Chains A and B, each alone.
Chain A
Amino acid sequence: MLKSCLLCNRGLNNNLDLSFILSFRKITPKLVCEGCITSFSTLVDHKTCIRCGKLSAILECADCQQWNDQFVNRAMFQYDEAMRNFFQHYKFQGDYLLRKVFQDQFVNFIQKILKENELIVPIPVDESTMTSRGFNQVTGLMEGLDWKDVLINQRSNDSLHQFQRSRRERLQQDSSFILKSGCDISGEHILLVDDIYTTGATLRQARTTLLRNGATQVRSVTLCR
């Protein structure tokens, strides 16, 4: 069992109080200390934008009014300083164990909003990232869920070969995703999953690809907004 906080390394006391012992809840050892847990800002039970899920006093946030489309996203946490710091360690430093910090909560969250006919599709990372990082930070957060890998992220190929393409080709290319060969998603309702919604451009590109390949409905869920 891990004895110190995964995020700040301070010692953890996994003391179980009496009410817990008498309950029938499963014992899940603490991974993160109280101080670190409370440093994150939840969006659940807060007033959020009906489109993107961002903390917002108004119904539809300014960003979404700009987009002016029908895209819908749900998010669990605010993407603030604490979260940026978390992703610095988890994603960029590559500390894969940190997926455990939000995994259970995120899986629960997804299960709660998932509709019966919906297919879960994670946003993939590009090939060169996969080779160096060794994991997809999105699917790391989703362990225990049933999902389907239908997209390929071509971002790195793009930057490598962009000069070989004609201008027309480049302009036409409105998404860095393509559908995996042999996948049939026609008529599917899809719930896209990503780690962070920042501008919303990535998720919209994925949606474009999915809709173009026959999906009938695409919405998304992210850990942070």
Chain B
Amino acid sequence: MEEIEKQKYYGRLVLQPINAVPTDSLDCRPAIVMKGNQIHCQRCGAITSSRDGALPDHQFYCRKCINLGRVSTLVQLATIPEPNNFVANQSYLEWPGKLTAPQARCSKAIINSIDQQQNRLLWAVTGAGKTEMLFPGINHALQKQKRICVASPRIDVVLELFPRFQEAFPQAKIALLHGRSPAPYEYTQFVLCTTHQLLRFYHAFDVLIIDEVDSFPYAMNPELHYATKQARKLQGSTIYLTATPDGKLLQQSRQAKLATSYLTRRFHGHPLPEIKVVSGQNWIKKLRKGRLPSPLSRFIKEQIQAQRQFLIFVPKIEVLPKVLEALQQVFPTVKVLTVHAADPERVAKVQMMRKQEIDALITITILERGVTFPGIDVAVLGADDAVFSMAALVQIAGRVGRSPQRPKGTVLFICPMLNRNIKRAQAQIKFMNRKASEC
């Protein structure tokens, strides 16, 4: 097998027909292992019932990871162990910026973890500038011939990161992999991908950086946890980046099983705006009658007077038109639109908000990450709804006070009662602010 052909297999899991002629260069193993009535997928780790994944003639397939190309008993997984065929001692970083002292401290800790082949949690508040903080660590790893990957559960995050990395590392070839990319796979030292794409790798990376680790898709997907484990080499370092650690990571961090770096200050040095909760009894009933809940109309009035842009979050898509209607009734001069994840005009609407062509967006929880408008305020209607996880609430609050010109702002939650997620979100923001004032 020629080198160029082999590169397709370095640290990858490539599907091959089960009856393909065996070659010496490839390590092949079954893609599906059957245990009784269970289908054990060797690519995504899912265990499913044979009833759901049966093909004719006693063949079976995995439905869980099917959009990466179907894994079945008709194929096998072929790989070549990652050889790290990269140039040594080559510095790729050409970033003119400078890290703040706390950023530099975190950055050093990352380099340390990479050298020690240890995992690390980087707990950085929203707006801390965590991407820049990664640059020295990535460069360090590249110089040491390590293969590195930055992955995020969210495609928008990946798409947003790509040009920033490419600008900081102009000489490095970065493979950008996600479900919508039509480009064929190419072997590179530096990979940027959605966490879903990690399922196609096998013991490939020495350094695996997972951004937005608590985003919804990751928290809910055991397969993706499996993927991060599979994609990294047995000896290596995984760096978890989050603004809102939750569940297992938080537990491991508290028990000191996972080294943790904090970046408690935003890059402009101001604390996070805290969450203000006001009781919004019967807000659903009011909306049904076409009226705005009074705390919300007070909030909007203030915005109009101060001439500020704002976001209103609602828990369900059905609520969007109701709020829009009521708002336009009471405040006919406000230029406002609704937007949601599946909205075909989503990008255009967000762009209009960025260019300040409109005053406000009414949206559902999906917009909360990555999207930044300087100097806005935020209201959340029905913040106690189950769709708003603790992480989502912290992220929503984190939209406010991003610009150095207006580092403060209003985060208003309107709901009949406080629930656990709201209390924990408030506590986490207070915790980070307290930690920031200590150092």
A residues contacting B by CB (< 8 A) are 2, 89, 93-97, 131-132, 134-135
Q: Is the CB of A96 within 8 A of B66?
A: no
Q: Is the CB of A134 within 8 A of B55?
A: yes
Spot the interface stretch: B56-64, B322-330, B428-436: B56-64
Enumerate chain A residues within 8 angstroms of B67, measured Cβ to Cβ.
93
Cα distance A97–B56 in the bound complex, in angstroms: 11
The answer to whether residues A96 and B55 also contact, given A131-B17, A132-B17, A134-B61 and a CB cut-off of 8 A, is yes
Q: Is the CB of A134 within 8 A of B53?
A: no
- A-facing residues in B47-73 (Cβ within 8 Å): 52-57, 59, 61, 63, 66-67, 70, 72
Query: Nearest 8 pairs between A and B by C-beta?
Result: A134-B55, A94-B70, A135-B56, A134-B59, A134-B74, A96-B55, A97-B52, A135-B55
Enumerate chain A residues within 8 angstroms of B72, measured Cβ to Cβ.
94, 134
Cα distance A135–B56 in the bound complex, in angstroms: 6
Cα distance A89–B57 in the bound complex, in angstroms: 21
Q: Is the interface of A mostly helix, strand, loop or mixed?
A: loop
Cα distance A135–B66 in the bound complex, in angstroms: 16
The answer to whether residues A96 and B54 also contact, given A132-B17, A134-B59, A134-B61 and a CB cut-off of 8 A, is yes
Interface string of B1-38 (1 = CB under 8 A from A): 00000000000000001000000000000000000000
Within 8 Å by CB of A132, from B54, B63, B66, B74, lies: B74
Interface pairs (25), CB distance under 8 Å: A93-B67, A93-B70, A94-B61, A94-B66, A94-B70, A94-B72, A95-B61, A95-B63, A95-B66, A95-B70, A96-B55, A96-B61, A97-B52, A97-B53, A97-B54, A97-B63, A132-B17, A132-B74, A134-B55, A134-B56, A134-B57, A134-B59, A134-B61, A134-B72, A135-B55
Cα distance A95–B57 in the bound complex, in angstroms: 15
Cα distance A96–B61 in the bound complex, in angstroms: 9
Enumerate chain B residues within 8 angstroms of A93, measured Cβ to Cβ.
66-67, 70
Taking residues whose C-beta sits less than 8 angstroms from the other chain, chain B's interface range is 10 to 19
Enumerate chain B residues within 8 angstroms of A97, measured Cβ to Cβ.
52-54, 63
Cα distance A93–B59 in the bound complex, in angstroms: 16
Cα distance A94–B53 in the bound complex, in angstroms: 10
Cα distance A28–B59 in the bound complex, in angstroms: 26
Q: Is the CB of A131 within 8 A of B55?
A: no
How far apart are B305's CB and chain A's nearest CB, in angstroms? 42
Enumerate chain A residues within 8 angstroms of B66, measured Cβ to Cβ.
89, 93-95
How far apart are B289's CB and chain A's nearest CB, in angstroms? 28
Enumerate chain A residues within 8 angstroms of B57, measured Cβ to Cβ.
134
Enumerate chain A residues within 8 angstroms of B61, measured Cβ to Cβ.
94-96, 134
How far apart are B126's CB and chain A's nearest CB, in angstroms? 29
How far apart are B30's CB and chain A's nearest CB, in angstroms? 15
How far apart are B316's CB and chain A's nearest CB, in angstroms? 13
The answer to whether residues A2 and B74 also contact, given A95-B66, A131-B17 and a CB cut-off of 8 A, is no
| Nearest A residue (CB) for B74 | A134
Q: Is the CB of A2 within 8 A of B17?
A: no
Enumerate chain B residues within 8 angstroms of A131, measured Cβ to Cβ.
17, 74
Enumerate chain B residues within 8 angstroms of A132, measured Cβ to Cβ.
17, 74
Cα distance A131–B72 in the bound complex, in angstroms: 12
Enumerate chain A residues within 8 angstroms of B53, measured Cβ to Cβ.
96-97
Q: Is the CB of A2 within 8 A of B59?
A: no
Cα distance A131–B73 in the bound complex, in angstroms: 11
Cα distance A190–B59 in the bound complex, in angstroms: 31
How far apart are A113's CB and chain B's nearest CB, in angstroms? 26
| Nearest A residue (CB) for B52 | A97
Looking at A93, A96, A97, A131, which has the most chain B CB atoms within 10 Å of its CB?
Answer: A96
| Nearest A residue (CB) for B53 | A97
| Nearest B residue (CB) for A92 | B70
Enumerate chain B residues within 8 angstroms of A89, measured Cβ to Cβ.
66
How far apart are B39's CB and chain A's nearest CB, in angstroms? 12
Cα distance A134–B56 in the bound complex, in angstroms: 7
| Nearest B residue (CB) for A98 | B63
Q: Is the CB of A2 within 8 A of B52?
A: yes
Interface string of B225-247 (1 = CB under 8 A from A): 00000000000000000000000
How far apart are B159's CB and chain A's nearest CB, in angstroms? 23
Enumerate chain B residues within 8 angstroms of A94, measured Cβ to Cβ.
61, 66, 70, 72
| Nearest B residue (CB) for A130 | B56
How far apart are A145's CB and chain B's nearest CB, in angstroms? 15
Cα distance A135–B54 in the bound complex, in angstroms: 10
Q: A2-B52, A96-B55 are in contact. List 14 more A-B contacts (CB 8 A).
A: A89-B66, A93-B66, A94-B66, A95-B63, A96-B53, A96-B54, A97-B52, A97-B53, A132-B74, A134-B55, A134-B59, A134-B61, A134-B72, A135-B55
Cα distance A134–B57 in the bound complex, in angstroms: 8
Enumerate chain A residues within 8 angstroms of B56, measured Cβ to Cβ.
134-135
Cα distance A135–B74 in the bound complex, in angstroms: 11
Cα distance A94–B54 in the bound complex, in angstroms: 11
| Nearest A residue (CB) for B18 | A131
Looking at A94, A97, A132, A134, which has the most chain B CB atoms within 10 Å of its CB?
Answer: A134
How far apart are A209's CB and chain B's nearest CB, in angstroms? 24
How far apart are B118's CB and chain A's nearest CB, in angstroms? 36
Cα distance A95–B64 in the bound complex, in angstroms: 10
Enumerate chain A residues within 8 angstroms of B70, measured Cβ to Cβ.
93-95
Enumerate chain B residues within 8 angstroms of A2, measured Cβ to Cβ.
52
How far apart are A4's CB and chain B's nearest CB, in angstroms? 11
| Nearest A residue (CB) for B68 | A93
| Nearest A residue (CB) for B19 | A131
Cα distance A214–B74 in the bound complex, in angstroms: 38
| Nearest A residue (CB) for B72 | A134
